[in-house]
Amino acid sequence: LFGRPTTNVKIGIVGLPNVGKSTFFNLLCNMQVEAQNFPFCTIDPNQSRVAVPDERFDFLVDAWKPKSVVPAYLQVTDIAGLVKGAAEGQGLGNAFLSHIKACDAIFHCVRAFDDADIVHVEGDLDPIRDLQIISEELILKDIEHMEKTVVELEKVVARIDKTKKPDFELAQRVLQQLKDGKEIRHGEWKAAEIEIINEWYLITTKPVVYLVNMSQNDYFRKKNKWLPKIAEFVNAKGKEPIIPFSVAFEQKLTEVSPEEAEAMCKTNNVTTIMPKIIKTGYHALQLVHFFTAGADEVRAWTVRKHSKAPQGAGAIHTDFERGFICAEVYKFDDLKELGSEMAVKNAGKYRQEGKTYVICDGDIIFFKFNVTAAPKKK
């Protein structure tokens, strides 16, 4: 997998100025940051976290009625608008690109609505051009980084360590793909190569979720003339999630009473898209979660996709991983169908799993462990 091998990851909201990023961030995290009608209103990135909606978690909370409730969270960063020439420093571009580099995935917010009162930094509405501007700026920043990396590795191979030749050759291939206008995440790479590429912290390795901000009317109609062109642009690069939404509509829902919001949704046959956006961003970060459930606490524990049982135990406490014995696992769907943990056991669907078990999203787990000695010194 591309990216850092940790669950302490975050997704950044990226786009041109005045496409609705900060308003979306306000709605997402229910906090007020400046959202004004001029470029570079957001300079320092605003950071927050938002609970990941999960009907399974809600079911467990309702079933157990615990004293404590802890959902999974998505960490989100609102990054200032990029402009053409950002990779060369335009519009505080270098600072903003470093903020993107510090994130692990991207919400790419693109404007697909006309509004004479909200200025467009490029003068007119053209989402495809806007997508290309952001894409090109991120690629240019990676080219700048890889050109330096290639020069450095060439010197290392020539003067110090010839075993680094495969790294040098890989760096040349990566640089060439970037110069061909292709993001690194869309290339064909072996697992060992991905491990090396991860050490270079390239922006174009980060997964992207495209958010198409439409007018409220277009959202109600479920139509927008730009959507087919945007889908064509994204799919030509490599299939990644595209979510049409309307910041204007989502904001309206927060300004009226719950009853009025429900009536508006029913009348127009729509619903808020925010839960889908949050869950899509969470999974784009290669995250899943398992549950621990009981009368004291129902909690969602976040782990990286493909994590094994001992790593899941370590998410709770390092002692659990160090002294791991086994994981007692059952599936949420079995619990929901059969009605209780005892019924799951009686049906033979409560299993003991060892160190090689790969945790599945939504597993309910009880870990057994035993720590009798201090950890060995390395």
Provide CB contacts within 8 A for 290, sequence distance 6+.
Answer: 300, 301, 303, 312, 359, 360, 361, 362, 363, 364, 365
User: What band does 375 get if pLDDT is binned at 50, 70 and 90?
Assistant: low
Residue 108, judged by CB atoms within 10 A of its CB (0-12, 13-18, 19+), counts as buried
pLDDT of residue 160: 87
**pLDDT of 372 above 90:** no
Say if CB 143 and CB 184 are below 8 A apart.
no
Cα separation, 365 vs 367, in Å, equals 6
- 373 versus 256: the higher-pLDDT residue is 256
pLDDT at 89: 54
pTM to 2 decimal places = 0.90
Using 50, 70 and 90 to split pLDDT, how confident is the model at 44?
low
Nearest of 367, 359, 357 to residue 325 by alpha carbon: 367
Average pLDDT over residues 320-336: 96
Q: Above 70 in pLDDT, residue 106? A: yes
| pLDDT at residue 247, rounded to an integer | 96
Average pLDDT over residues 302-316: 96
pLDDT for the residue numbered 42 = 43
pLDDT score at 80: 76
pLDDT of residue 31: 47
Q: Look at 40-54, 155-169, 216-230 and tell me which has the smallest mean pLDDT.
A: 40-54
pLDDT(276) > 50? yes
**How far, in Å, are 227, 254, 260 from residue 264 at the CA level?**
24, 12, 6
pLDDT at 10 over 50: yes
Q: Model confidence over 62-84: pLDDT tens digits?
A: 999 999 999 999 999 988 777 77
Indicate if the pLDDT at residue 45 is higher than 90.
no
Alpha carbon 318 to its chain's center: 26
pLDDT category of residue 93 using cuts at 50, 70 and 90:
very low
User: Which residues in 153-221 belong to E strands, given as ranges?
Assistant: 208-213
Residue 119 has a pLDDT of: 64
Query: Each residue of 211-245: pLDDT tens digit?
Result: 999 999 999 999 999 999 999 999 999 889 999 99
Residue 340, pLDDT above cutoff 90: yes
Alpha carbon separation from 77 to 10, 12, 64, 135 (Å, rounded): 7, 5, 34, 19
Q: Is the pLDDT of residue 100 over 50?
A: yes
Average pLDDT, stretch 50-61? 95
Report the mean per-residue pLDDT for the chain.
Answer: 90
271 has a pLDDT exceeding 80: yes
The closest alpha carbon to 277, from 5, 3, 27, 16, belongs to 27
User: Given this model, what pLDDT does residue 81 score?
Assistant: 73
Q: Which tokens belong to 351?
A: 């299993």
Give DSSP secondary structure letters for 29-45. Answer: HT------SSTTS--SP
pLDDT at 361 over 60: yes
Beta-carbon count within 10 A of 135 CB: 19
Whether residue 39 is predicted with pLDDT greater than 90 in this model: the reply is: no
Over residues 253-273, mean pLDDT? 95
